[in-house]
Amino acid sequence: MSTPRVLVVDDEVDIRKLIEITLARMGVETDAAENVECARERLADEQFDLCLTDMRMPDGTGTDLVRHIQTHHPTLPVAVITAYGNTDDAVECMKLGAFDFVSKPVDIHMLRKLVESALSLESPASPRTPQPAQTALVGETAGIRQLRKTIEKLGRSQAPVYITGESGTGKELVAREIHSQGTRRHGPFVPVNCGAIPSELMESELFGHLRGSFTGATQDKEGLFQAADGGTLFLDEVADLPLHMQVKLLRAIQERSIRPVGAKAETPVDVRIVSATHHDLAERVREGVFRQDLFYRLNVIQVTVPPLRERMADIPRLANSLLAGIAERYGLSQPPTLTPDAVERLQGHSFPGNVRELDNVLERAVALTDNDRITADDLQVDPAPPASMNAGDDADGLRNELEDLERQRILEALQATRFNKTKAAERLGMSFRQLRYRTKKLGID
């Protein structure tokens, strides 16, 4: 493999020198340009594997150069060097396609990481050839194909990604794909459900704490940010972050460092932030419950996952893939199949709960039939659901009430039979398999 080459664009000789020495120690060759015009010429004449550019130069800005590279050399990774504290420039450049940034004064450690990750993206000998993605994201409709393309592109970037989409559309799956197809794939993927952590514990959960920093802190504890170091932190339901945590998260993102509860000093962390919510975050900003500045930092690149009703042609593929997963969970030797009328029934349903609802429908059908072929009747879905089914809250309330009642009846039957599931099932008028499914579903241990 030939020596990788980096074009460094900066009008300050000292910075160019520092970068040149650091990169030389990594076995990387550098070439320098002192302004935008000169950089354009070098790029036109020679082959580079990476471009690192300062923001402010006598004849233009780093943003101009990022734009130029996206148009004329779209396969060349470009990163920017920004003035300390000026992450607005960095955000703008990443929106335009820069894959990362470093702030001045340049931290050698960060610089090395950035260069390593950029150069491992492709072997210099062969222009970037997209690897045939091993994707878990099932679907061949236009929306899903486009989504897969976007995910592949995002693998190069370190920019924060904000994923929107209705509940159950696959946002977490998309976040995992962004991680596993990107340069951080060898690092950890740490999912956090921001809505599930009590507000008073959130700071310690995210940033860790030192022993003795509050009552009950009997030993040092690492936070989720540290756990995700070198990888991706997935902030699910980010709209649920309380305001006081939004300020701290913003700081962590801007500074790329965190301060554990009770610690005096900050610790640098190298984490890519991917966030998601099924709420309209822009609306939350307008309502004053979500900080505009944090939204701006999280939403550098936005990815939208389409609802299932907009990709009904994918239902047979999705169903087969979900059935294979269900068969595995149930220890079945072969996944059950769907009869043509079952497929038709599914495609006639609107799926307000999206792919998660499809999974639930199929799991219930598998549990309730002893047959390997699932018919339309086994599915128990309305071909055309009443409008109220789309009003999630009412339906959820009723479902919870029914589940409470069912839980109570099952517990009574289990207690009456001294937890003999076969007898309890008989008593309840259901099969053993049905009872096992319902207890698991209702969280009865």
**Is 312:347 a contact under the CB 8 Å cutoff?**
yes
Nearest to 67, CA basis, from 80, 58, 57: 80
Closest CB 355 distance from ligand ATP, rounded Å: 4
Measured from the CB atom, is 34 or 359 closer to ligand ATP?
359
* Options 38, 83, 133, 137; binder of ligand ATP; rule CB under 6 A: 137
Torsion (CA) 160, 252, 202, 241 in degrees, nearest 10: -50
CA angle, corner 151, sides to 359 and 225, nearest 5? 85
* Identity of residue 77: P
Whole-number Å distance between alpha carbons of 139 and 136: 9
Stretch that binds ligand ATP, among 65-73, 351-359, 408-416, 418-426 (CB under 6 A): 351-359
Closest CB 314 distance from ligand ATP, rounded Å: 7
Closest CB 192 distance from ligand ATP, rounded Å: 12
Q: Is 359 in the site for ligand ATP (CB under 6 A)?
A: yes
* Options 35, 321, 337, 360; binder of ligand ATP; rule CB under 6 A: 321
CB-nearest residue to ligand ATP: 170
* φ/ψ (deg, to 5) at 101: -145, 160
Q: Is 236 in the site for ligand ATP (CB under 6 A)?
A: yes
**How far is C-alpha 367 from the geometric centre of its chain's CA atoms?**
31
Residues 140-169 that bind ligand ATP (CB under 6 A): 165, 167-169
Q: Is 210 in the site for ligand ATP (CB under 6 A)?
A: no
Stretch that binds ligand ATP, among 96-104, 137-145, 221-229, 263-271 (CB under 6 A): 137-145
The residues near 205 (Cβ < 8 Å, ≥ 6 apart) are: 192, 197, 223, 224
Helix (H, G, I), strand (E, B) or coil at 6: strand
* Options 83, 121, 173, 217; binder of ligand ATP; rule CB under 6 A: 173
Q: Is 172 in the site for ligand ATP (CB under 6 A)?
A: yes
Whole-number Å distance between alpha carbons of 84 and 314: 47
The residues near 421 (Cβ < 8 Å, ≥ 6 apart) are: 414, 432, 435, 436, 439
Q: Is 171 in the site for ligand ATP (CB under 6 A)?
A: yes
Nearest to 235, CA basis, from 175, 174, 178: 175
Q: Is 353 in the site for ligand ATP (CB under 6 A)?
A: no
Bridge-based pairing state of the strands 78-82 and 60-61: unpaired
Measured from the CB atom, is 43 or 318 closer to ligand ATP?
318
Q: Is 170 in the site for ligand ATP (CB under 6 A)?
A: yes
Whole-number Å distance between alpha carbons of 12 and 81: 12
Q: Is 421 in the site for ligand ATP (CB under 6 A)?
A: no
Measured from the CB atom, is 49 or 359 closer to ligand ATP?
359
> Measuring CA to CA, how many Å separate 98 from each of 65, 264, 428?
10, 34, 61
Q: Is 363 in the site for ligand ATP (CB under 6 A)?
A: no
Whole-number Å distance between alpha carbons of 438 and 441: 5
* Options 40, 184, 278, 297; binder of ligand ATP; rule CB under 6 A: 278
Residues 13-72 that bind ligand ATP (CB under 6 A): none
Measured from the CB atom, is 54 or 359 closer to ligand ATP?
359
Closest CB 361 distance from ligand ATP, rounded Å: 12
Measured from the CB atom, is 4 or 139 closer to ligand ATP?
139
Q: How many residues bind ligand ATP (CB under 6 A)?
A: 18
Q: Is 364 in the site for ligand ATP (CB under 6 A)?
A: no
Q: Is 434 in the site for ligand ATP (CB under 6 A)?
A: no
Alpha helices of 217-312 — where are they, by DSSP H? 224-227, 243-255, 281-287, 292-298
* Identity of residue 404: D
Contact footprint for ligand ATP (CB under 6 A): 137-139, 165, 167-173, 236, 278, 318, 321, 355-356, 359
